Structure 1
Amino acid sequence: MATSPSPKKVLLPIVAGTEPIEASIPIDILRRAGANVTVASAGDALLVEIMYGVKILADELLVDCAAASYDLIVLPATGHPWFVEKFPPKVTAVDANVVVDGNAVTGTGPATSMEFAMALVEQLYGKEKVEQIAKPMLVRYEGGYSMKELNSVEWHCSGTPKVLLPVANGIEEMEAIILVDALRRANADVVVASAEDGVVVTARYGTRIVADVMLDEAADRAPFDLIIVPGGMPGAKTLGGCEQLVALLKKQAEANRPYGAIGAATAHVLEPHGLLKVRAELPGTCSNPLTARRR
């Protein structure tokens, strides 16, 4: 009987200041492909607060990984166009999101991290593996956005938007971390709240996210300008069964404040509690409104 090949070994070091998207997407994608990814802290503790206040619990300290050999080492730091001018003259910049040059693969920034991660999978496993994992993830290569707006209303808030993002074991790490990253880049006050027994949440592909607070503490900070729920199983099911979160969402809906979900959370959190009903257009009262979808 033929034995299965050993998983590819990948090292991904993180440090304070690492871009959340540039770290979380390669971790997620490579683990989906079957790689054994070790997230290593380059500091002196496993808990690392990377950019935008995202807290990750690494698997090991980097100093403890020095003796091991890896099929691939991924550095979550890009060849962003801003930094090209810092390269010596002998380095030639290539106008592409991802460049594969021999054994080296480089990407240009957070928004191209998906392409970067898929390129790594292709180099390790081949194009067939890329297609295998890309399809269920709904990865679109043609670019652009696919959005349909129903019942357009103006979202309103006063001052810095307060956002609640609940997490539980088994959520999709990309769906949670990208939301936190993007909203905090926009200067929103995002509270990541754990619906588990502790603040450390293990996402679907093993990334250990450290929440800011427990959900009951976050509830004391209500109301929120936005509540957004990440998907992923079984995390979405856990969140859908969390009475405290459901109560917050229902109050959010009753007060005509925005809320939303992505992926499995639409089916396991919003729909069972009547939160996907189409709503009529509501007047906006914000001096700086954002026109967006409300369902």
Structure 2
Amino acid sequence: KCPVLRLGPLLIISFPSVRPKKRKKNINLMAAMAALRPLHWPQLRPPGQRPATTPPAAAGATTWRRMAKATTSLAPGAPTPSLPKKKVLVPIGMGTEEMEAVILVDVLRRAGADVVVASVETGLEVVASSGTKLVADASIGACASEMFDLVALPGGMPGAARLRDCEILRKIMCKQVEDKRLYGAICAAPAVVLQPWGLLRSKHMTCHPAFMDKLPNFRVVKSNIQVSGELTTSRGPGTAFEFALTLVQQLFGSSVSEEIGGKLLLQSDNNLPRKQEFNTSEWVFHRIPRVLVPIASGSEEMEVVMVVDILRRAKVDVVVASVEKSTKIVASQNTKIIADKSISAAAESIYDLIILPGGVAGAERLHKSRVLRKLLKEQKSEGRVYGAMCSSPTVLQKQGLLTNEKVTAHPGVIGKLTGQVVEGAGVIIDGKLITSKGLGTVMDFSLAIVSKLFGHPRARSVAEGIVFEYTKN
């Protein structure tokens, strides 16, 4: 037996003297020890801290649903400090689908990505497919020499065709594919942009149902999300949240994707109603309904764009009005939007419905607008419809516009409401008042308005066009 001396982590073994066999050299103990691989001791961690793990590759679009019941916050999700900054390019052009572009940008920025919105037009200002005016961060030419971790193409027509015809963007995307870096496309973009550029070879893909026949039948699938190597494709505005979260998962890992998904308030529990109505009242107009959507710096851009886009698809006359000195505002995730007019100019008309978008800073600036305050007061006193999303129900409460009505709001501010708060459903209608939790519930909110104005058939038709599952209840 060998005597053993243990000194902390050091183990010393004393070997007995052994006569070597004939024709064999003595063992060089020092050389043998030098040949041994170094011993790696586990790094000490504070009690209860889990070891770091490498996030798995994207395996689907539904992992974020497990976080839907998590504690939510109005503040954007901060990236993990140890994660490197990821650079993302989102190109836009005249006719780009605004919901797809803005949801992509908003969600990726919440995850911590450095997102550049680049215009393929001669100027930075772009009029999107439903008339929303967006301002890009840079021209596509300024991005030609940059390297991106992800290039994601929004759809919309003729926006997708404008992207396809941009030679600089084609070269950027081809280099992206050649270097095996992430790229994605949604709605019309897989068929209208990637297919003509030859960037779908040996890939499985999906796209908007109206463009499925332009893709190879043997490789096209009808799923909301399709991941094929470095390529991720999706179907339309109604699947844009899933698309964006899948890209977040690929860039930052499942934990970040699930955290952001939980904060977006996406519907995950099928046992809960998506909307509830109390004190049913008819919203019937014998003309095209006029809707006012006031915005401010700090307004939540996803909410603004979704409600405006969906209502305009339903043939509603929507006016976007800025309460700032300029018609150009910078939204909560730094998306730049140009309103149709100032709130003072908008106040010259009467509206059938006034809708307040959320965003903490934006809601506070809406509350400070004297012109808007007067409009809202008249709206209620005249028995016309009004509504609010996310943090903006607190604006209605501060102005004395909530009495006995049942309401909901973002979980981060719902405790500030003193009235009859209804939790569970994402959308609450009480007579001539409609409120929602905001963010991921805004498509339901917008379609509920369409249903009240025109009936379920038109709401269902609009939902089908954006590839969104519509239910009456």
Instruction: Please state if 1:249 is matched with 2:379.
Output: no
Matched residue, 2:233: 106
Residue identity opposite 2:294 in structure 1 = P
Match of 2:96 among 10, 13, 18: 18
**C-alpha RMSD of the superposition:** 1.9
Aligned residue for 1:273?
Answer: 399
Say whether the 8 Å CA contact 1:152–1:291 is kept in structure 2. no
What SS is found at the alignment partner of 2:278? coil
Change (3 A) 1:197 1:88: same
2:292 maps to 164
SS at match of 1:74: strand
- Deviation per CA, 1:78-115, whole angstroms, max 9, x where unpaired? 210110101234x5221210111110000011101011
Q: Which portions of structure 1, spanning 4 or more consecutive aligned residues, are displaced by more than 4 angstroms?
A: 142-145, 279-282, 288-292
The residue that corresponds to 2:182 in the other structure is none
- Count residues with an aligned counterpart: 282
For 2:209, give the aligned amino acid: P
Match of 2:358 in 1: 231
Q: Deviations over 1:236-282 (max 9, x none)?
A: 01101211111101101011110000000111x11111212235968
Q: Distance in 2 between matches of 1:175 and 1:253?
A: 23
Structure-1 separation of matches of 2:262 and 2:276: 21
Relative contact order (alpha carbons < 8 A, sep ≥ 6): 1 or 2 greater?
1
Match of 2:137 in 1: 59
Distance in 2, Cα, partners of 1:134 & 1:254: 39
What is the rounded CA distance, in whole Å, between the counterparts of 1:41 and 1:34 in structure 2? 22
- For residues 145 and 113 of structure 1, the distance between their equivalents in structure 2, rounded to whole angstroms, comes to 22
Cα distance in 2 for residues equivalent to 1:205 and 1:19:
18
Matches within 5 A, 1:80-159: 80-89=208-217, 91-142=218-269, 146-159=274-287
In the other structure, the counterpart of 1:263 is 390
Q: Which amino acid is the alignment partner of residue 250 of structure 1?
A: K
What runs of 5+ residues in structure 2 fail to find an aligned partner? 1-80, 156-186, 188-206, 406-429, 433-451, 457-473
Instruction: Quote the Cα distance in structure 2 between the aligned partners of 1:257 and 1:226.
Output: 7
- Alpha-carbon contact 1:154-1:290 (below 8 Å) kept: no
Q: Partners of 1:136 and 1:29 in 2: how far apart?
A: 10
Deviation at residue 227 of structure 1 after TM alignment: 0.3
Deviations 1:207-261 (A, max 9, x none): 000100000000012x101100000020001101211111101101011110000
| Secondary structure of 2:354 counterpart | strand
Q: Report the alpha carbon displacement of residue 125 of structure 1 after superposing the two structures with TM.
A: 0.6
2:325 paired residue among 197, 218, 228: 197
Which consecutive residues of structure 1, in runs of 5 or more, have no partner in the other structure? 283-287
- Is 2:292–2:319's contact at 8 Å kept on the other side of the alignment? yes
Counterpart residue type for residue 55 of structure 1: K
Distance of aligned partners of 1:185 and 1:129 in 2 relative to their CA distance in 1, 3 Å threshold: same
Amino acid corresponding to residue 146 of structure 2 in structure 1: A
What secondary structure sits across from 1:141 in the alignment? coil
Please state if 1:47 is matched with 2:125: yes
1:206–1:145 CA distance, 2 compared to 1 (3 A):
farther
Q: Distance in 1 between matches of 2:347 and 2:226?
A: 45
2:348 to 220, 244, 264: 220
Amino acid at match of 1:219: A
Q: CA deviation at 1:131?
A: 1.6
1:60-83 deviations in whole A, cap 9, x for unaligned? Answer: 011111110000001002210110
Distance 1:73 1:263 in 2: 30
- 2:45 matched residue in structure 1: none
Amino-acid identity (%): 42
Assess, with a 3 A threshold, how the Cα gap between structure 1 residues 263 and 281 changes in structure 2: closer, same or farther. closer
Deviation of the 1:134 alpha carbon: 1.9
- TM-score between the two structures when normalised by the length of structure 1: 0.91
Amino acid at match of 2:381: E
The CA deviation string for residues 188-212 of structure 1, in whole angstroms up to 9 with x for no partner, is 1100000111011100001000100
Please give the TM-score of this superposition, normalised by the length of structure 2.
0.57
Aligned partners of 1:153 and 1:291 also within 8 Å: no
Amino acid at match of 1:187: K
The SS at the match of 1:92 is coil
Is the contact between residue 128 and residue 134 of structure 2 (CA under 8 Å) also seen in structure 1? yes
Question: What's the secondary structure of 2:214's corresponding residue?
Answer: coil
